[in-house]
A and B are shown apart, each in its own frame.
Chain A
Amino acid sequence: KAGVTQTPRYLIKTRGQQVTLSCSPISGHRSVSWYQQTPGQGLQFLFEYFSETQRNKGNFPGRFSGRQFSNSRSEMNVSTLELGDSALYLCASRWNRGNEQYFGPGTRLTVT
């Protein structure tokens, strides 16, 4: 079974631009979560989607948004990028009744 895939793997953007990251979960997994990882703040939860609905949201500004499609694929969008948004963005999926989340390889975003 294929794992969680994320595209693109690397991205360089300029301050003020917006960016969209994509995540395809493991087949059959309908829950998709997003996390931001930075050296200073560590791993922080962004949001979780299930059946196209956002079920849970972390403490991030409204510039961070996401959505989930009917095939469970998810996208997250960051508008008006700031230097502090430079991070590794990790997507994870799980079977709804399962405990474990399985992570993708991440998208490394650099904002200049």
Chain B
Amino acid sequence: AQKITQTQPGMFVQEKEAVTLDCTYDTSDPSYGLFWYKQPSSGEMIFLIYQGSYDQQNATEGRYSLNFQKARKSANLVISASQLGDSAMYFCAMREYSGGSNYKLTFGKGTLLTVNP
């Protein structure tokens, strides 16, 4: 079974509007972390935001916020005031902590966001 599901292969948004990218996850580990990364056409993965499973507040980083709904196992990324430079592939990822200090990210298939002028 897929651990990270991103159901939107592609999304379009007008410049200056907000957009939500969906991510659902599956884990039986009570302790886990959720990440969003941006990958422009150049290929480099850029870290955007992190949410821990025990964090009470939704994470925010500038124009990025993570809408964390633990009971629904969803961790949607919200980008406010979209910019042309936001056009890129966006990946949701999860780390499960049952492995102790071991660190392994499981990624979704990604969503290609296009910002139109």
Contact = CB atoms under 8 A, between A and B. Distances in A.
A101 B103 contact: yes
Interface stretch (B12-20, B44-52, B65-73, B74-82): B44-52
Nearest to B50: A99
Interface in A96-112: 96, 99-106, 108
Contacts of A23: none
Contacts of B106: 45
A9 to B, nearest CB: 9
A99 B101 CA distance: 11
13 contacts: A33-B105, A42-B109, A43-B93, A48-B102, A50-B101, A55-B101, A56-B99, A56-B102, A56-B103, A90-B45, A99-B95, A100-B50, A106-B44
Interface of B: 33, 35, 37, 42-47, 50, 52, 91, 93, 95, 99, 101-110
Interface of A: 31, 33, 35, 42-45, 48, 50, 55-56, 58, 88, 90, 92, 94, 96, 99-106, 108
